[in-house]
Structure 1
């Protein structure tokens, strides 16, 4: 498989999963060295505008034309509107039918506004005849059908997390620690969480917040961390093992996402990681994060600091209920989101296309 990366693609996600599919050898065009057992082709990008991020990056990869289609069975990329997906479609056509195309998608907005912008619309239309549209959430299938894609090309496989890394602590934390693991950006709601923690501390003064992540709102976290009375600690950007350790030392996980003009919460791997570590989750209802967070027993709330604080107080003070729900969450993650199981299912999705 030839994987065509986005310029800012996050590690240990889609490309990593593809590299772990049984019997799969992956070559990846990417700017940064990716994680996984694969061949990396260091690549640069034509990126005239940096306004959009992730799948909306206005960027084309250099060097794809130098790859020999005869070396690959598949070419794959992330999201229908990414410009590298349009490049992957041209690579598939250049192969004369030898190379199949897969597009991995999380998109859950049927009326994604980027589709109205000509380069993104062209990328979208270029992959209508892709051999496999692999959806990471059920809502992505609904989005594809709403945009006129062929249902016979669509398969849904939910993502997995390494449950051997993300597992409960031998002894649950007795400290009233709240964990926030997410980019420090307005759409992830660190401002709302900091507001809620002030309310929590009226009832549980010893409650503390530990934050992992970076982004444009880091100054809010740093300002709170500078005041000892706020009991906020910024752990910075952590790798998977660091995040797992942070979660095991916490009592409850919280985030407060809110939609933007071109994005709404799709799933949220941090929710899965927290649940795999045996934590209850308090979050704001946004997009399709209900596919990640079962409520009940967890909490999907309105975007309201008082409501968030009320549920945080519950989980921080009711250890028995916290343990009960944590055990349920761990059991569900093992059944539905274990990484090894899910990458095998992803491999089976590709194999079904090949057999057909």
Structure 2
């Protein structure tokens, strides 16, 4: 079988995520309408976007892809996109003819009452895909979200995302130095400010504790100011590719972030949590949204408070044996529940299940 799938990308689609997973589904050939060349075995159709508002709003980017109308619906078995309210999903719904090709919408959405749905044309995009054939949820909470918004349970499937457990592997020996690593956008909702504050508290007990920050964003000047103060022991790497992220994780002792909700977003899962755990690190993070689907005890979910975050970090930094034990258990769970090839095959099975019903 050869499943032909057209992926309509968001303008700011991140690499090695949903599109990449679709390309790894067995028996699937993928064409991507996208601004940037995608990673993976994917036929790329370069596109630009009509984007009146430039600010990035997660999957709510106010943008339409140019050139979709030049694609022949008869050349594909599926058209797929990310999130119900994205305008490219609305485009895909309108583009297909008489229900062909089949439509899949990938969703992480975990807010039962997503405020973007109240705003045209986001509301129009959501309503246009109510007859989508497959709603593929990346978290359990997304299924609850869909049901709360009146979608048909028979079209919903849940498949958790995978992580490359061959790339993200533990170090030969656990890190000896008390190095904490933060890998996330440097935006207020990801909490680098809270992490920096927590590390000042950590250093009162462990003066040699250091923080490595990988990412970029609006709060980068705050991080750069910390880097400029040698007493804070902060290093900023900027953007790293997947292999460099894996190397950084292997050199570190504990992974941390500190997400907090916004008016239309809350943490859904957090792929960085999975990558860190696959590398055998314990995780300390703030409790936010449904990140408990990724971060399970004895990893630590704490209140959104610098003191609480620092206490959690110290629990692992001052106890190497516990750190190693939790990290080893994390690795076992990632291989069992989030191996990339296995999860991509499960995604393919979800598509095949819907195909069998046609």
TM-score range, shorter chain: over 0.9
In structure 2, C-alpha distance between the alignment counterparts of 1:54 and 1:271, rounded to whole Å: 19
Structure 1: gaps spanning 5 or more residues: none
In structure 2, C-alpha distance between the alignment counterparts of 1:229 and 1:97, rounded to whole Å: 62
In structure 2, C-alpha distance between the alignment counterparts of 1:55 and 1:306, rounded to whole Å: 33
Instruction: Specify the alignment match of 1:37 in structure 2.
Output: 41
Residue deviations 1:128-178 (CA, integer Å, cap 9, x gap): 110000000000000000000000000000000000010100011100000
In structure 1, C-alpha distance between the alignment counterparts of 2:341 and 2:283, rounded to whole Å: 24
In structure 2, C-alpha distance between the alignment counterparts of 1:297 and 1:318, rounded to whole Å: 13
In structure 1, C-alpha distance between the alignment counterparts of 2:342 and 2:190, rounded to whole Å: 29
In the alignment, is residue 74 of structure 1 matched against residue 72 of structure 2?
no
In structure 2, C-alpha distance between the alignment counterparts of 1:29 and 1:266, rounded to whole Å: 26
Aligned pairs, number: 353
How far is the alpha carbon of 1:98 from its aligned partner? 3.0
In structure 2, C-alpha distance between the alignment counterparts of 1:65 and 1:191, rounded to whole Å: 44
In structure 2, C-alpha distance between the alignment counterparts of 1:67 and 1:16, rounded to whole Å: 21
In the alignment, is residue 13 of structure 1 matched against residue 17 of structure 2?
yes
How far is the alpha carbon of 1:70 from its aligned partner? 1.2
How far is the alpha carbon of 1:118 from its aligned partner? 1.4
Instruction: Supply the RMSD in Å over aligned alpha carbons.
Output: 0.7
How far is the alpha carbon of 1:320 from its aligned partner? 0.5
Instruction: Specify the alignment match of 1:102 in structure 2.
Output: 104
1:126-205 correspondence to structure 2 within 5 Å:
126-205=128-207
Give secondary structure in 1 for the equivalent of 2:308. helix
How far is the alpha carbon of 1:54 from its aligned partner? 2.8
- Normalising by structure 1, we get a TM-score of 0.98
Instruction: Specify the alignment match of 1:322 in structure 2.
Output: 323
Structure 2: gaps spanning 5 or more residues: none
Instruction: Specify the alignment match of 1:91 in structure 2.
Output: 95
How far is the alpha carbon of 1:50 from its aligned partner? 1.8
How far is the alpha carbon of 1:30 from its aligned partner? 0.4
In the alignment, is residue 228 of structure 1 matched against residue 207 of structure 2?
no
In structure 2, C-alpha distance between the alignment counterparts of 1:160 and 1:91, rounded to whole Å: 30
Instruction: Specify the alignment match of 1:339 in structure 2.
Output: 340
Residue deviations 1:308-347 (CA, integer Å, cap 9, x gap): 1111112111010001000110000001100000000000
In structure 2, C-alpha distance between the alignment counterparts of 1:130 and 1:13, rounded to whole Å: 21
Are the equivalent residues in 1 in contact too, given 2:175–2:252 (CA < 8 A)? yes
In structure 2, C-alpha distance between the alignment counterparts of 1:315 and 1:128, rounded to whole Å: 46
- Normalising by structure 2, we get a TM-score of 0.98
Instruction: Specify the alignment match of 2:356 in structure 1.
Output: 355
In structure 1, C-alpha distance between the alignment counterparts of 2:100 and 2:192, rounded to whole Å: 47
In structure 2, C-alpha distance between the alignment counterparts of 1:162 and 1:91, rounded to whole Å: 34
Are the equivalent residues in 2 in contact too, given 1:252–1:279 (CA < 8 A)? yes
Give secondary structure in 1 for the equivalent of 2:135. strand
Instruction: Specify the alignment match of 2:250 in structure 1.
Output: 248
